[in-house]
Amino acid sequence: MFKKNHLFNNASKFWLSNSNLATKVTMPECSFTPQKYQGPKYEDVVQTRRENLSKGNFPYYKENVMIHQGHKQWLWDTNGKRYLDLFAGIVTVSVGHCHPKVNAALEEQIKKLWHTTTIYHYPGIHEYTHKLLKKFPSKFGVVLYTNSGSEANDLAMYISRLYTGKFDIISLRNGYHGMSPYTMGITNLSTWKYNVPTGFGIHPTMNPDIFKGPWGGKQCRDSPIQALRDCSCEPGECQAGDNYSNQVQDILLYCAPKGGKVAAMIVESIQGVGGAVQYPKNFLKNSAKMVQSAGGLVISDEVQTGFGRTGSNYWGFENHEILPDIVTMAKGIGNGFPMAAVVTTKEIADVLGQAAYFNTFGGNPMACAVGSAVLDVIDEEKLQENCQVVGTYFLNELAKLRDEFEIIGDVRGKGLMIGLELVEDKKSKKPLNLDRVLNIFETSKNMGILVGRGGLYGNVFRIKPPMCITKEDVDFGVYVLREAIHKESKN
């Protein structure tokens, strides 16, 4: 299966051999040989997509990529061209594409039992539940299984309303929590909202964005890289965190029912779709205390930040020194397998006993086998530590690009949860013209790296690769970004 083969990207060779901007960096070697593609033609796929799939499934590139096979941090298209995947299937492939141990666990399980439901006992769900709960503080004791992050957040909202007897929920502007009819109300990015009634009882608070918001400075982030913004705070204090959390207090005072009674506050520890926005220190800690003191629950959405991706901790909420009441997770939990979960306390989960609760596929034998293998790989290959070391290196290298180019306004993140924001200039912070963003995006793809885009204006490059990438991969990725940005800066 693993044959030695030096695969190089023809497009990357062209760019790398014709650049005089910096020291040339070639795409790292890969010893994996993909199978030869024998499926439908690219033109036929494009036609089917155009005629038979929803227009909501927008193509990501001007000349889109047709992916054929993946291995660890690498993807191959149908022509055999290799790409460094720095987006991980939208922050989903945690331990690497088609990881041999995860594949083997799934293969072994499907030979025995594909599906049964939680109305029966089967060992996989019980074994996996115990293994997952060991990754949490001791107060958490119940896992509820679903199939997607939207579904998990939907259930978390429902549980919080049942448990507290309250209806109102606080979320953040620029936050993304899913696109089901229920979660659409707590997703506060207009790009993803339709003109239908949603959000009854939802109160979006100000987004604590220290790059573009009214408050923030050079000492605000829990990150190796700080914003290029003056800060008057003394060591150990963060005025921006206090100011933004005061906005949450105002919602409790003015918008919630009398007495500031809310069911919950839901928040990502670092915003994902919103463009890797990091909050100032103490914001989440103060806000959580306010909500919990008012009788509400705190829901931590770990769909993108969980399972060691931020490096310093296994869960993103731990970076903020808070103890939420409910934690939701998906994406990286199954390395691409459709799987999600809600973790909470027994007392809170027991409210579902008021009626019957059932999920046909949640916690099915295949998902539990995959999820268990993912936990093992993260530990055995020390991927959380890799996120810390390689992620910090990545952030520092990207910060050098920020200092080099006027159109890079901000670099932020923690571990391998990284954002690079493109602007017209650093002073105005105006989002870079979308055509120029797309030019850089397209050039980067042609040179052999795949990144995501986020933020309200699509001007933030989302860099959230499989957690197994190396410093050598980072050097190549940064080189390509430098070339692509330099090319656009000359126009």
* Rounded Cα gap, residues 5 and 32, in angstroms: 7
CATH code for position 277:
3.40.640.10
* Rounded Cα gap, residues 478 and 389, in angstroms: 16
Q: Which of 380, 401, 420 is the last residue of a domain?
A: 380
The DSSP bridge pattern shows strands 264-268 and 67-71 to be: unpaired
Both 173 and 257 in a single domain? yes
Q: Is 156 helix (H, G, I), strand (E, B) or coil?
A: helix
Residues 6+ apart with CB under 8 A from 200: 167, 185
Both 110 and 164 in a single domain? yes
Q: Which of 349, 380, 411 is the last residue of a domain?
A: 380
Residues of the chain with pLDDT under 70: 1-22
Name which of 57, 105, 91, 131 is nearest 330 in CA terms: 91
With respect to residue 180, please indicate whether it lies within any of the assigned structural domains: yes
pLDDT number for residue 55: 81
pLDDT number for residue 307: 98
DSSP code, position 97: B
Q: Which of 348, 363, 380 is the last residue of a domain?
A: 380
Both 240 and 279 in a single domain? yes
pLDDT number for residue 237: 83
Number of folded domains that form the chain = 2
pLDDT number for residue 222: 93
With respect to residue 240, please indicate whether it lies within any of the assigned structural domains: yes
The per-residue pLDDT for range 133-147, each reduced to its tens digit, is 999 999 999 999 999
Which tokens belong to 149? Answer: 């992050």
Residues 6+ apart with CB under 8 A from 61: 441, 442, 445
- Parent domain of 64: 10-95+382-489
